[in-house]
Amino acid sequence: MYRGHSGSTIRSHNRSLLLRLLLLHEPISRVELASITGLTMPTVHGLIKELMQEGIVEELGTTDPQGGGAGRRAALLGLRPKSRMSIGVDLGVRTTRIGLLDIKGEVLAEKQVIRHEADEEPRDTLDKVFLAIEETLDRVPLNPRDIVGLGIGVPGLVDVATGHVRRTPNLGWQGIPLGAWFQERLALPVIVDNNIRAMAIGERMFGRGREEANLISFFVGPGIGAGILINDDIFRGVSDGAGEVGHTLIDPAGPVCRCGRQGCLEAVASNTAIIRKVWEAATAGQDSELGNLVLQELSSQDSGELTIEDVVRWAEGGNTYCKELLEDAGRFLGEGIANLINLFNPELIIVGGELFNHSDLVFDSLAATARQKAFSVPADSVALVKTGFGKGQGLIGAGALALREFFYSSSTSQTLVEYPRVAEQGRVRR
Ligand SMILES: [Zn+2]
């Protein structure tokens, strides 16, 4: 249904369009902005003047004159760093990261909060998070009015419209009005979403996905999931449950998953599944070298837990059991990715998680399987990369949830100007 648009709606839509082009393609001139968007030069001039007066846009220099010095130089524009900021909360099963991001996705300050017990009350965890937010903001000189909002990435099912956490199996939270709790204490817009969906948004705005409007972020942690962007829109599904690739069947004879079914991807290739297999092999005396490594690790720390980083380190150090286990996990993950490629035909899949941060072992195995198992046409057109954010992927995603609202909020759902693909217009990315 077309409802028509007032002049101010069109103006704010165009303003938001220019902001997004500046984010993805700066430095860029007014002439290029006009030619990509189809807006008139006076419109572009007026909106850029307004954005410069607000301190959001600045001039970065000039283009080289055309024809070796005779032509006119045009001013190149970009977003002014630190002109707007957001707070990101990457809620983790054990570690929660809190950070301040600027308009370009730079992390200006960061803190971590640890949940000491698995059954810590949500309110107790959040009290620590609020304290960490205050401490983070104290460390950076800023005008509170420049903070556009707070984004929270949650490892589980979230009702995005209400900010309610439906279920986070790994945290054990259920029916928590997280958005409302945050809003009670901070006078800011609060956006709550699934953490892996947030990562997809962070990658699109600030990371490896700046050139691709059809991308999937694939994350392996205690669980496995996917964040899906189709034509720059977040695909959430009808009840915000899309992307649960961890609960797709991968091995009918595999172990029982925590969802109750047998042979889910998560049950065979998540960090939890891998660590459990290492633990079982070590305690069963299957591999004496591994047994010694596990004993040494447990006696050198007080948490009494193995981490996925330990397993990766041992595999890279030459332990055959761990190496084969990780290569197997990579093959299962590659099957999951091949399914995503066949279903969504994306341009880009960005893989993240601690399994990939310090080693290419799992990634190489995953990429080879994905290429081999996906149909050739979609497989040929997809790029498969690791995140460039490392451990910061979730935090940057969480902060991006709020910044995305800033970049997109003034646009209407009724697209007035088709979102342009700059690459298709022959422009070389700087
Ligand atoms: Zn499952």
pLDDT in tens, the chain (430 residues): 444 567 788 888 999 999 999 999 999 999 999 999 999 999 999 999 999 999 999 999 888 765 555 567 889 999 999 999 999 999 998 899 999 999 999 999 999 998 877 778 888 999 999 999 999 998 888 898 999 999 999 999 999 999 999 988 888 888 999 999 998 888 889 999 999 999 999 999 999 999 999 999 999 999 999 999 999 999 999 988 899 999 999 999 999 998 899 999 999 999 999 999 999 999 888 788 899 999 888 888 766 789 999 999 999 999 999 999 999 999 999 999 999 999 999 999 999 999 999 999 999 999 999 999 988 888 888 999 999 999 999 999 999 999 998 888 754 333 333 323 333 333 333 3
Cα 342 to middle of ligand 1, angstroms: 21
Cα 409 to middle of ligand 1, angstroms: 35
Indicate the CATH number of 215-387 among 3.40.50.2000, 3.30.420.40, 3.90.440.10, 3.40.50.720.
Answer: 3.30.420.40
Cα 241 to middle of ligand 1, angstroms: 14
Rg (CA), the chain: 23
Cα 246 to middle of ligand 1, angstroms: 6
Cα 258 to middle of ligand 1, angstroms: 6
Q: What is the architecture of the domain spanning 85-207+392-407?
A: 2-Layer Sandwich (3.30)
Cα→Cα distances 122→94, 115, 156, 172, 186, Å: 12, 10, 14, 9, 17
User: How far apart (Å, rounded) are the C-alpha atoms in residues 395 and 179?
Assistant: 17
Lookup: tokens for 79: 């977003």
Element (H, E) at 395: helix 393-408
User: How far apart (Å, rounded) are the C-alpha atoms in residues 171 and 160?
Assistant: 18
* pTM exceeds 0.85, yes or no: yes
3-state secondary structure of 248: coil
Cα 244 to middle of ligand 1, angstroms: 9
- Residue holding tokens 């999937």? 216
**Are the folds of 85-207+392-407 and 215-387 the same?**
yes
From 243, 150, 237, 152, select the one nearest 193 (Cα to Cα): 152
Cα 117 to middle of ligand 1, angstroms: 24
Which amino acid is it at 374? A
Sheet of 173-176: strands edge to edge? Answer: 157-159, 164-168, 173-176
Contact 364, 330 (CB under 8 A): yes
Element (H, E) at 230: strand 224-230
Cα 307 to middle of ligand 1, angstroms: 21
7-80 belongs to CATH 1.10.10.10: yes
- Domain boundaries defined on the chain: 7-80, 85-207+392-407, 215-387
Cα 261 to middle of ligand 1, angstroms: 6
Cα torsion 196, 304, 298, 331 to 10°: value is: -30
